[in-house]
Amino acid sequence: MTQTLETPLSKVKRGPNRASHDKDLALDIIDAALMCHVGQTKDGQVFVTPTSHWREGDYFYWHAHSKARNVKGPIDKPEKVCINISLLDGLVLARSAMHHSVNYRSVTLFGVPELVDDKEEKVRQFKLFLDKVSPGRWEELRPVNESEIKATGVVRIKIEEASVKFRAEPPIDDAADIDWPVWAGVVPLERHWGAPQTDPIQQQNFAPAKPPKAF
Amino acid sequence: MTQTLETPLSKVKRGPNRASHDKDLALDIIDAALMCHVGQTKDGQVFVTPTSHWREGDYFYWHAHSKARNVKGPIDKPEKVCINISLLDGLVLARSAMHHSVNYRSVTLFGVPELVDDKEEKVRQFKLFLDKVSPGRWEELRPVNESEIKATGVVRIKIEEASVKFRAEPPIDDAADIDWPVWAGVVPLERHWGAPQTDPIQQQNFAPAKPPKAF
């Protein structure tokens, strides 16, 4: 156990045997995923938006158009958002319907977003994001310009209030069901990056970009 | 365009060129995914919970322990939840950082959950869920019992207020950047079900379960 991210809000109440509040474990899952789901409210209505995220140290970042709901909303009207990052790892097929499950890794983060407004810091964060998506690519791109920096909103929350849930094991059946005549086990979900599809309008030959380690 | 799921709440405001409110398209994406993210509030705080879902006709279903937040909360205190279902399909690597994107399919659903309380109907829904996860498996399992039915909460919302967003194309760069000397294109994310891992405690040999078409 490294630092704990447990607070009254982030403490897991149900299924504590599959829960953790360990910071290093949370950071590993955050880094292993490309996408998260940002939950926020507007006029009392909840909204959930999928988006890409990245991390630097203790901060979790995402971006969108400067005027998009998931960056502008919680800044205009500060609120503690809830962000879930989850990766499905496999199907757990048991001998009874009840004990079917999934193997997965999941982090639920809480925090009040803050806007990253400084121009140079924004560009530095764009690079960190690109470094996650395709290592080494940033240096090869047409440099960002003023209007792009302005049009892109970057927000972050400090990773200090979060929970982790995960499952990574065979089915756990009732003892009485062990000899029930049906196959039981795990079917793993495998992800990989397929063959790069070059932009059809590209004329020259270049080496394709490196894919990320995250999925 | 089949039936529309557009309402003042579900109407997409940003990026309408990548948006749709077509019901058949929404249903296809819902069925192609195993997992969704349920957004709800409790005492004004938003929570986002990943869970598995299934569908029958115009209704979207999920389940959890009868006392879990994501089934009991919106029943005890009715509210319009927001559910996002999304599938990442690839990385879109452009010539400028600004035009980097992802190919994806995403549905955002709104509705007030209703509890499925009738015992026989609950069991019928369990079967439909199993049929999605592993076709033909339900009939081979140890039958569900009374306490399992009671312990499992099933809720549903009618699919009538939703939006779809998707992207499935090469990068779209600024005209001035087309000859910038860097590879541009799409790196597709591929998913498949790996070799079944039989429960180590299983003694007999059975044919492994069929994996689902959804991911």
Suggest the residue from A41, A43, A46, A87 to mutate for an interface test with chain B (most B CBs closer than 10 A): A46
Chain-chain contact of B49 with A84 (C-beta, under 8 angstroms): yes
Q: Where are the domains of chain B?
A: 16-168
CB proximity A49 to B under 8 Å:
yes
pLDDT for A94-137, tens place per residue? 999 999 999 999 999 999 999 999 999 999 999 999 999 999 99
Vertex B85, ends B14 and A159: CA angle to 5°? Answer: 80
Q: What tokens appear for A29 in the block?
A: 């899952």
Would you say domain A16-117+154-167 falls under CATH 3.40.630.30? no
pLDDT for A15-74, tens place per residue? 888 999 999 999 999 999 999 999 999 999 999 999 999 999 999 999 999 999 899 988
- Averaged pLDDT of chain B: 96
Chain-chain contact of B170 with A40 (C-beta, under 8 angstroms): no
Q: Domain B16-168 carries which CATH code? A: 2.30.110.10
- Which one of A93, A181, A198 has the shortest CB-CB distance to B183? A198
Count of CB atoms situated within 10 Å of the CB of A52:
22
- Amino acid identity, residue A97? A
pLDDT at A1 over 80: no
How far does the CA of residue B60 sit from the closest CA of chain A (Å)?
16
When pLDDT is averaged across residues B96-122 and rounded to a whole number, the result is: 97
Name the residue of chain B whose CA is nearest to A94's CA. B141
Suggest the residue from B48, B51, B125 to mutate for an interface test with chain A (most A CBs closer than 10 A): B48
When pLDDT is averaged across residues B165-177 and rounded to a whole number, the result is: 97
When pLDDT is averaged across residues B127-131 and rounded to a whole number, the result is: 98
B88 in Cβ contact with B186 (< 8 Å): no
Q: Is the ipTM of this complex over 0.90?
A: yes
Say what the pLDDT of residue B1 is: 61
pLDDT at B14 over 90: no
Cα-Cα-Cα-Cα dihedral sign, residues A196, B27, B73, B66: negative
How far does the CA of residue A131 sit from the closest CA of chain B (Å)?
11
When pLDDT is averaged across residues A170-183 and rounded to a whole number, the result is: 97
The residue that leads in pLDDT, B74 or B127, is: B127
Cα-Cα-Cα-Cα dihedral sign, residues A73, A76, A77, A81: positive
Residues of B in contact with A199 (CB under 8 A): 170-171, 184-186
How far does the CA of residue B107 sit from the closest CA of chain A (Å)?
10
In sequence order, the β-bridge partners of residue A163 are A108
List helix spans (H) across chain B. 23-32, 69-76, 119-133, 146-151
Return the exposure string of B26-42: e unless at least 16 CB atoms fall within 10 Å of the residue's CB, then b: bbebbeebbbbbbbbbe
pLDDT-based confidence at residue B215 (cuts at 50, 70, 90):
very high
CB proximity A4 to B under 8 Å:
no
Say what the pLDDT of residue B16 is: 82
Say what the pLDDT of residue B13 is: 85
| Terminal Cα-to-Cα distance of chain B (whole angstroms) | 26
pLDDT-based confidence at residue A2 (cuts at 50, 70, 90):
confident
Count of CB atoms situated within 10 Å of the CB of B176:
10
